[in-house]
Amino acid sequence: MAIRNLRYEGDEILKKKSREVEVIDDKLQILIDDMIETMHKYNGVGLAAVQVGILKRVVVIDLYDDKGPIVLINPVITKTKGEQEVEEGCLSFPNEFAKVIRPAEVTAEYTDRKGKRMRVKAKELLAQAISHEVDHLNGEVFIDKIIPGTLEYVEPEEEK
């Protein structure tokens, strides 16, 4: 496993649409493991492959609960319900936070890393994370969806 280089604000790749994954092979499994390790290194809740420069429809999410990270390959949001105003950040926009309106609940279909088609009904943080990461796969970033006037830059704490 390896830490991948993140792509940051202003990188053109973040505006590109990711391609469907057609084969789940060893190369994809390595990418998934690297994405999980990279997300954990930077304390992220989610990471899309495009954020490490790979235009494939792959997302990893970890709510740091007892369930561990989940992997969504070719995720599609099939249903949304309600809305929630949430504070959001993004590993590609370090130290920037803003309020965004996201669905309160989402239903998504995806393929897991073993190739099995799955469905998840998500609420609150998981619904927010799935929405945020699927946006990445479509070339959209949270900064384009923020509630005007809510963007804040938080100075990083000094490394000790």
DSSP H helix total and E strand total for the chain: 2, 8
Give strand ranges (E) for 19-155.
46-48, 58-61, 70-81, 84-90, 93-102, 105-111, 117-123, 152-153
Neighbour count for residue 116 (Cβ, 10 Å) = 9
Separation between Cα atoms, residue 90 and residue 154, nearest integer Å? 13
Q: Is 88 a catalytic residue?
A: no
What does the block give as tokens for 68?
Answer: 């561990």
Q: Name residue 90's beta-bridge partners.
A: 93
Could you say which of 9, 37, 133, 159 is catalytic? 133
Taking only Cα atoms into account, the Rg of the chain, rounded to an integer number of angstroms, comes to 15
- Cα–chain center distance at 80: 17
Residues forming the active site? 133
